[in-house]
Amino acid sequence: MKRVKERTNMGLLNRMGTIIKAKMSKIIGAAEDPRETLDYSYEKQLELLQNVKRGVAEVTTSKKRLQLQKEKLLLNSQKLDSQARDAVRANREDLARLALERKNAITSQITGLDQEIATLETEQAKLVAAEQRLSTKVEVFRTKKETIKAQYSAAEAQVRISESVSGISEEMADIGTSIERAESKTDEMKARSAALDELIEQGTLVDITRSGDDIERELAKVSQKSTVDSELARLIAEERK
């Protein structure tokens, strides 16, 4: 019973600490010679730095993709708007209503995309800052590592090594978590944007394109009819002269 209580009393900060420390110990690993730990840790740092760079690129790509989709949707929306105007001019309120309904559906999709683009922008800025911070730390670590290796025996090096390795491993665990979160966010958005793409291509986005064609066809009919009507009227007028 007591254990349960202690666990529920554990704050968020404590839990975060435990999680990051667990990740750290995975990063640090264990080597016979503490000086090997230095090289091993350095290798891991370079790996992580590559991961961060890849993460930044991925977020940037996702963002660009969403921005493109947004542009496409904006075009669709403008088209529907002008179709609605045409319909009103042709006294076809029903068609105008249809076009405006579809335009509204698109507008809400665009709002959703705007939010996602903003999220990715924040994520991008965060990862870029993390990349800079990490690369500074990695550089500091590299210098320290060489100094320690040159000046100390394995036994003496122990303390200094554990200090700097812990410091950077914590940063690595922290940034590692940030990347994982960014990745899961971009994955989510990729899936959604792929679905959106399919909808845009199939033209079944709330039946926009298909019915858009309907609207176009109807409008074409209307304008054809009016052309025929006016031509007919002209002919009748001419013949009866």
Per CB under 8 A, residues contacting other proteins are: 8, 10-23, 122, 126, 129-130, 132-133, 136-137, 140-141, 144, 163-164, 166-168, 170-171, 174-175, 177-178, 180-181, 184
φ, ψ (nearest 5 deg) of residue 240: -85, 0
Q: Which of 169, 141, 145 is nearest to 34 (CA)?
A: 145
Minimum Å gap between C-beta 65 and other proteins is 21
Give the nearer residue to other proteins in terms of CB position, either 72 or 142: 142
How many DSSP H helices and E strands does the chain contain? 6, 0
Give the nearer residue to other proteins in terms of CB position, either 60 or 177: 177
Minimum Å gap between C-beta 123 and other proteins is 9
Q: Quick check: 175 and 56 in contact, CB under 8 A?
A: no
Q: Quick check: 46 and 153 in contact, CB under 8 A?
A: no
Minimum Å gap between C-beta 7 and other proteins is 9
Give the nearer residue to other proteins in terms of CB position, either 68 or 125: 125
Give the nearer residue to other proteins in terms of CB position, either 143 or 153: 143
Minimum Å gap between C-beta 1 and other proteins is 18
Provide the CB-side half-sphere exposure for 210 (13 A, CA).
Answer: 7
Give the nearer residue to other proteins in terms of CB position, either 167 or 203: 167
Provide the CB-side half-sphere exposure for 147 (13 A, CA).
Answer: 9
Minimum Å gap between C-beta 12 and other proteins is 5
Minimum Å gap between C-beta 185 and other proteins is 9
Give the nearer residue to other proteins in terms of CB position, either 8 or 153: 8
Q: For 207, which DSSP code?
A: G
